[in-house]
Amino acid sequence: MAYQESTGVGCRIAYVGIRDDDGTMKIQGSPAAGTAYAGIRADRARALTVTPAEPQRIAARGDDVTYYTFQVSPADSPVGELRTQQSDTALIALITSVTDFGSGNVSMVPLSSDKVGTEDPIMVWGSRIAIQSGTGLAQTRVWETYIILNAIASARPQPFEVDVINEFVWSLAGNNSSTDQFGRTMTSGIHGCTEAAMVMVKTRYKFFMDVFEGDGAEDEFTLTQGSDVIDDAHDDAATSPVFCFVDGVSTAKTVSAAGVVTITPAPSDGAKIVVQYEYDN
């Protein structure tokens, strides 16, 4: 399997979406069937950090010595931050479960509202550039992506301070998920575990993920990255596959050079389609 060993730097892109009950991103609004939804991009992202909780270490002691140390699941959840140098009203409204009540050229959004503690859970993913760095390997450019499967975020707005470009900070608390980003149940046979808070993905090209909803008739789904998608006919498609899941089940598809995924027969009305892929531009 390629691109397993890499060294990364920075934070190139980050997206946020509401987490649906099936563990995938929840589509906002009522887009037409076949229209992709990818969440909201956190523009000018500076950092996406995740710190897993330390495991509990319990020492067995006797005769004034420790003769065995047990390591068990952490008592706390992973924590982290999403930091941007741009405040975005639409992103604030999405994450904090409030509404932009402005009009015209005026946006107004509540902060520190009574929604704190009852916000919808979110899925966050971010990518950074890296190089393949294993011993004896060519230093090929690759990409590393973290997908935080199930998180709650709270806003820490920018202060006003002279001579400082401040950051809008989202404090993240991660929770375990029993499904992966496709809505597929985690199993020991496939994932090696039955729950996880995040997934690391390494790819040759840039990472992206779109979700769609079926209507029982539409069988063509246009990906956000269009003709930049590494499609079924691309030279690197064997090592940069397009993953397509319908209601958590891996599903056969074709991908055109224009970035259109065709699924036959058409997914049923209300079916959730998740497509994870790579693109190059």
Lowest-pLDDT range, 137-146, 185-194, 214-223? 137-146
Interval 215-271: pLDDT, tens: 999 999 999 999 999 988 887 778 889 999 999 999 999 999 999 999 999 999 999
As a whole number, mean pLDDT of residues 13-38 equals: 94
Q: Which residues of 28-50 are buried (b: 16+ CB within 10 A; e: fewer)?
A: eeeeebbbbbbbbebeebbbbeb
Q: What is the pLDDT of residues 97-110, one digit of tens each?
A: 899 999 999 999 99
Question: Looking at residue 77, what is its pLDDT?
Answer: 87
**Residue 2 has what pLDDT?**
64
Label residue 1 by pLDDT band (50, 70, 90): low
Residue 232: the pLDDT is 83
Are the CB atoms for 133 and 139 separated by under 8 Å? yes
Distance CA 88, CA 168 (A): 9
pLDDT value at position 123?
Answer: 97
| Mean of per-residue pLDDT scores for the chain | 92
Q: In terms of residues, how long is the chain?
A: 281
Q: What is the pLDDT of residues 29-57, one digit of tens each?
A: 888 888 999 999 999 999 999 998 899 99
What residue ranges do the domains of the chain occupy? 6-54+72-209
Contact predicate 48/38, CB 8 Å: no
Measured CA to CA in angstroms, residue 197 lies from 178, 191, 257, 265 at distances of 9, 13, 34, 33
Minimum mean pLDDT range among 139-148, 173-182, 203-212: 139-148
